[in-house]
Amino acid sequence: MAMAGLYRRVLPCPPAVDFASTEGKQLFLEAIQNGTMEGFFKLISYFQTQSEPAYCGLASLSMVLNALAIDPGRKWKGPWRWFDESMLDCCEPLEKVKAKGISFGKVVCLAHCAGAKVEAFRSNHSTIDDFRKQVMACTTSDNCHLISSYHRGLFKQTGSGHFSPIGGYHAGKDMALILDVARFKYPPHWVPLPLLWEAMNTIDEAPGLHRGFMLISKLHRAPALLYTLSCKHESWVTISKHLMDDLPVLLSPENVKGIKDVLSSVLSNLPSNFVEFIKWIAEVRRQEENGQNLSDEEKGRLAIKEEVLKQVQDTPLYKHVTSILFSENSVCQSNAASDSSLANVAASICCQGAGLFAGRSGSSDRFCCLQTCVRCYRATGDNSATVVSGTVVNGNGEQGVDVLVPTSQVKTSCCPSGQDRCSPMHPASNDVLTALLLALPQHTWSQIKDTMVLQEIENLVSAENLPPLLQEEILHLRGQFLLLKKCKDNKVEEDLAAPPF
- Residue 490 in 3-state DSSP? coil
Report the 10 Å Cβ neighbour count for 50.
24
Catalytic, out of 162, 189, 210, 426: 162
Residue type, 281: I
Interatomic CA distance for residues 196 and 123, integer angstroms: 11
Residue 115 neighbours by CB under 8 Å, 6+ apart: 70, 71, 72, 73, 219, 222, 223, 228
Report the DSSP beta bridge partners of residue 148: 164, 213
- Residue 14 in 3-state DSSP? coil
Report whether 145 contacts 216 (CB < 8 A).
Answer: yes
Residue 426 catalytic? no
**Residue in 225, 253, 277, 231 with CA at minimum distance from that of residue 470:** 225
32: exposed, middle or buried (Cβ count in 10 Å: 0-12, 13-18, 19+): middle
Residue 56 catalytic? yes
Residue 180 catalytic? yes
Catalytic, out of 180, 204, 339, 431: 180
Interatomic CA distance for residues 214 and 465, integer angstroms: 34
Report whether 27 contacts 175 (CB < 8 A).
Answer: yes
Interatomic CA distance for residues 230 and 483, integer angstroms: 10
**Residue in 496, 432, 501 with CA at minimum distance from that of residue 112:** 496
Point out the residues that are catalytic. Answer: 56, 162, 180
